[in-house]
Amino acid sequence: MAELPPRYPRDFYGHGPDRPDAAWPGGARIAVSFVLNYEEGGENSILHGDPASEAFLSEIVGATPWPGQRHWNMESIYDYGTRAGFWRLHRLFTETRVPVTVYGVATALARSPAQVEAMQDADWEIASHGLKWIDYKDHSEADEAVDMDAAIALHTEVTGEPPTGWYTGRCSVNTVALAATRGFDWISDTYDDDLPYWAQIDGRDQLIIPYTLDCNDMRFATPQGFNAGDQFFAYLRDSFDALYAEGKAGRPAMMSIGLHCRLVGRPGRVQALRRFIEYVQGHEGVWCARRADIAAHWGAHHPPQRRTNWHQLDRAAFVEKFGGIFEHSTWVAEGAHALELGPAHDTAQGLHNALCRVFRVASDDKRMEVLRAHPDLAGKLAAAKRLTEDSTAEQASAGLDALTDEERHQFDTQNSAYVAKHGFPFIIAVKDHDKAGILRAFERRIGNDTSTEFAEACKQVERIARLRLEALG
State phi, psi for 256 to the nearest 5 degrees. Answer: -105, 140
Judge contact between 171 and 149, C-beta under 8 A. Answer: no
Determine the Cα–Cα distance for residues 97 and 288; give it in Å rounded to an integer.
10
Determine the Cα–Cα distance for residues 219 and 181; give it in Å rounded to an integer.
32
Determine the Cα–Cα distance for residues 15 and 132; give it in Å rounded to an integer.
33
Determine the Cα–Cα distance for residues 413 and 452; give it in Å rounded to an integer.
21
Hey, which residues are catalytic here? 374
Judge contact between 2 and 314, C-beta under 8 A. Answer: yes
Q: Could you tell me how far CA 148 lies from the centroid of its own chain?
A: 25
Q: Which residues contact 363 (CB under 8 A, 6 or more apart)?
A: none
Judge contact between 128 and 163, C-beta under 8 A. Answer: yes
Q: What is the DSSP letter of 46?
A: G
Q: Could you tell me how far CA 330 lies from the centroid of its own chain?
A: 32
To which H or E segment does residue 30 belong? strand 30-38
Alpha-carbon distances of 11 from 197, 210, 342, 344, 371, rounded to whole Å: 12, 14, 7, 6, 34
Helices (H), 202-328: 229-248, 267-281, 291-301, 315-322
CA dihedral 350, 356, 357, 358 (to 10 degrees): 120
Determine the Cα–Cα distance for residues 170 and 131; give it in Å rounded to an integer.
12
Q: Give the 3-state secondary structure of 70-117.
A: CCHHHHHHHHHHHHHHHHHHHHHHHHHCCCCEEEECHHHHHCCHHHHH
